[in-house]
Amino acid sequence: MTGYDSVTDFMNNKTKKFTALWQRDHDLLEDLQVLVRELFEDASIEAMSFENPTKDDINGAFHGIKNGRAGGSDFIRKQDVTRLPNEGLEELGEIMGQTVRELALPSPMLLNCIALAPKPKGGERPITVTSIIYGVLIRLFSGTLMEWTEHHKGFWDDAVKGSSALTAALCRSAEAEIAQLQGKQTAGVFWDCETFFDSICLIKLVKAASAMGFSPLVLYLGLQCHMATRVFKIGNWTSDIIEPNASIIAGCHLTDRFTKIIFYNTLELAHSKFLGVKFGQFSMILRKQNQ
């Protein structure tokens, strides 16, 4: 916190900076509310058939959360739940089932604590600590999410399950070097998005997700978390609250899918216009051989 007189001074500065990003779509809030109400109607139909998760479902979802993760914004740790007796897991399943069918996250799930990770070249990257129980709840839909991902996997997309960013980069470098040895021309285009999560318009996200057949139920539950109250937290210090109307959070199980939704049409269009385009998660390499 070099350059600040106190923790309070630091917190106030960061709150002001990120409020400008996270509340920039205030004028679009009414349109967003209309869109969310329409989404609620579709989600309600899907939620009607949701059954209470069993203790095995809950334990399976917990396996997707890293061991040693710090407690969530609800002050619950992974080990707190994994130590529950069967009766406790069954009651938790009833709560989760009711939460989904009523399409309303309980208030302890509607708080996101933001930690600021310093970047090597200056600035900070906001990392979100969500509710542990919310993380488990969303992972109950892993099957639905995997099925959607499989149906929206372009052959040009390297950011898929089982892929490696390092392997993809090495393959591209090898292709470029081989092309050079063959006397062909290569070109590389690296696409870096600054404050990408903070730049996302939620209206565009909802419209794009609906157009791509994303589950209305999962989208509606996820939006409640991404639009929930945010506070910066350093040790025992917390900032004033921020009520966002724009951006998504880093630290949610849905964030990668939301990123794919935002990028997909742009990358698909680019691929249709250029020969041999290959994409990774936040970079793209263009390779075009001489005809």
Q: How confident is the model at residue 140 (pLDDT cuts 50, 70, 90)?
A: very high
Q: Which pLDDT belongs to residue 33?
A: 95
The mean-pLDDT minimum among 39-48, 156-165, 181-190 falls in 156-165
CA angle (215 as vertex; 214, 221 as ends), nearest 5: 115
Question: What DSSP state is assigned to residue 28?
Answer: G
Q: Is the pLDDT higher at 269 or at 48?
A: 48
pLDDT digits (tens, 9 = 90+) for 76-88: 888 888 888 999 9
Q: Is the pLDDT of residue 36 over 80?
A: yes
Q: Is the pLDDT of residue 166 over 90?
A: no
pLDDT digits (tens, 9 = 90+) for 234-272: 888 899 999 999 999 998 999 989 998 998 877 777 777
Q: Is the pLDDT higher at 149 or at 157?
A: 149
pTM of the model: 0.84
pLDDT digits (tens, 9 = 90+) for 111-120: 999 998 888 8
Q: Average pLDDT over the chain, rounded to whole? A: 86
Map residue 128 onto helix, strand or coil.
Answer: strand
> Residue 59's CB: how many other CB atoms inside 10 A?
15
